[in-house]
Structures are given as C-alpha cells and as structure tokens.
Amino acid sequence: MLVLVAPGQGAQTPGFLTPWLELPGAADRVAAWSDAIGLDLAHYGTKADADEIRDTAVAQPLLVAAGLLSAAALGDISPGAVAGHSVGEITAAAFAGVLDDTAALTLVRKRGLAMAEAAAITETGMSALLGGDPEVSVAHLQKLGLTPANVNGAGQIVAAGTLEQLAALNEDKPEGVRKVVPLKVAGAFHTHHMAPAVDKLAAAAEALTPADPKITYVSNKDGQTVATGAEIVERLVGQVANPVRWDLCMETFQKLGVTALLEVCPGGTLTGLAKRALPGVQTLALKTPDDLDAARELIAEHA
C-alpha cells in the first residue's frame, strides 16, 4: 500500500523548481497558476534567494505548486492514502480530488498572506529539537512558554514561540536534546500566534466547493482519516493555529498497512521521518526529475 505525502514549509531551497520546469508542459502550467494567484512562481522557484523564498506568502504557494507539478509528472497514480505536513495538507487535498489545482493554489496563496500578516504582529519563529524524550521535551517547552507546534514522530519535536523564548530554549535545552535547530520559516505556525489568520482563511474557504476525497485522506489534526470534503476544508482552516501531529499520521499509515511512502517535491523531510518511525517501509523522495523513474517503479510495485 502506497502513501503519497507532501512536505511543509522549510523544505524549499533556492532554485529547486528549475529542473521541473524543463519537463514538457511544466512551464506553461506554472505560468497559468502564477496568473491565477498573482505570484510569479517560476521566478521564485528558480531565481529567488533563500530569504525571498523564506517569506511565508511566497513559500507556501511555491511548495504546493512544486508538489502538484512533480505528482503530475508521475502520470495517473492510485495511492492507498494521501497526507501532507502543514501546508502540504493543501497539496494532499488536491491529490485526493477535494480541490482542483487552481482552487488549492488560490487557497494557499490566501493562507500564506494571512499567516505572514499574523507573523508580523510579533517576532516569532520555530526550532527543531534533535534527540531527547518527547514527553520530557513537551513539558520543558511549556515551562518556557513555547508550543510543541509539530510533533513529528521519530523523536522529533518542533518548538514555536517568540524569538526571546526560542533564545531561552537554545540556552536551556530539555534533558537529552542534542541540538536546537532554527527552521527556515518566518513565524510561529500552528500556535495561538496564528489565530488572526484563521478568520481570514475561513472567509476564503467559503468560496470553495470541495468534493469528497477519492483517496483516503489523513489529517494533521489527529491522524484520523476524513471522509468529506467539507470537513477536510474545515480542518485546513483550523490547523493553521493548532499543532501538527505527524506522529499520529504515521501511526495511521501503519494501521492502513503502508508498505511504501513517496514524498513529492521538494522531498526529503518526511521520508527521513518515515525511515526512523516506519521500519520496513520503502521510501522515496522526489527531489529532481531524475527520481521519476525510480518513483514509477515504486508505484508499480505498491500502488
């Protein structure tokens, strides 16, 4: 059983879209998406530097576009389930047929702008904790006033809060944590700091006409499968200010009988977690079009 997954913010790197735009029809598709949302995706995916694509309003549409483009390059596939990490949930909603590509990109453009606006109110950020016991780390974060915004499984937790709180964490790590690594994001996502973005996203979601998923959709909120398009959109809105429970998503993959996990571009983060948390499951990350043949072989064997 194949699970198709889409990464979240922080996975982007300068120029990562360049080789994908060389595929037949890719540049035209991205140009049409860019016109639809008023953002030059090709420029940001090929020529922009790390700081430019760190901007939440840019990074989020860019990641969804990359996921959709790389999945389209695989042709028609039938995974057993789909999921996405944070903003990758919108990509996954498109994979499941809940939203069409343009609707997904329109929603993520509004999501990115709303979250960037919320992030500008207070200087905030996110840092990954490497090592340590999750229960000990969560208690320590709460003592410092930080939120465990991503509980990613495989022992990885991402803390979110003000820059002062994150600096205090760097000086006072939880017991057993080897390192605290700042992430390439511009805000404390999936925390109360994002509450102002929820209302704006809810208003944007009212314009959508979601379909029910054609593929099993696993939600970040609690790792549960969701059967209706309306509930998926409702969860996409609320998830902006609530922690990502990727650990629970991976537990659900196991219950569903996952044998392979394929991560769309810019892949690597979620396959890395799966290698540690889902032993025996084959994993493959789409980084460049050079990975497509191996991905098709994986699909043929497991989908």
168-173, Cβ contacts within 8 angstroms, sequence gap of 24 or more: 168/144, 169/127, 169/141, 169/144, 170/127, 172/140, 172/144, 173/129, 173/132, 173/140
Distance of alpha carbon 147 from alpha carbon 165, whole angstroms: 10
For 148-157, what is each residue's pLDDT tens digit?
999 999 888 9
Assess whether 86 carries a catalytic annotation: yes
Catalytic residue among 70, 137, 140, 190: 190
For 183-208, what is each residue's pLDDT tens digit?
878 899 999 999 999 999 999 999 99
For 155-183, what is each residue's pLDDT tens digit?
889 999 999 999 999 999 999 999 999 98
| pLDDT score of 154 | 81
Query: Above 90 in pLDDT, residue 53?
Result: yes
Catalytic residue among 34, 86, 127, 219: 86
Assess whether 127 carries a catalytic annotation: no
Residue 301 neighbours by CB under 8 Å, 6+ apart? 260
Q: And the tokens for 205?
A: 């979601």
Amino acid identity for residue 200 in this structure: K
Amino acid identity for residue 135 in this structure: E
| pLDDT score of 185 | 83
| pLDDT score of 184 | 79
* Predicted structure pTM score: 0.95
Query: Above 90 in pLDDT, residue 239?
Result: yes
Burial of 244: CB neighbours in 10 Å, binned 0-12, 13-18, 19+: buried
Q: And the tokens for 79?
A: 């995974």
Query: Above 90 in pLDDT, residue 69?
Result: yes
Distance of alpha carbon 198 from alpha carbon 175, whole angstroms: 34
> How many Cβ atoms sit within 10 Å of the Cβ of residue 148?
23
For 111-138, what is each residue's pLDDT tens digit?
999 999 999 999 999 999 999 999 999 9
- Give strand pairing partners of 131: 177
CA angle 128, 107, 199 (to 5 degrees): 80
| pLDDT score of 186 | 82
Amino acid identity for residue 120 in this structure: A
| pLDDT score of 13 | 96
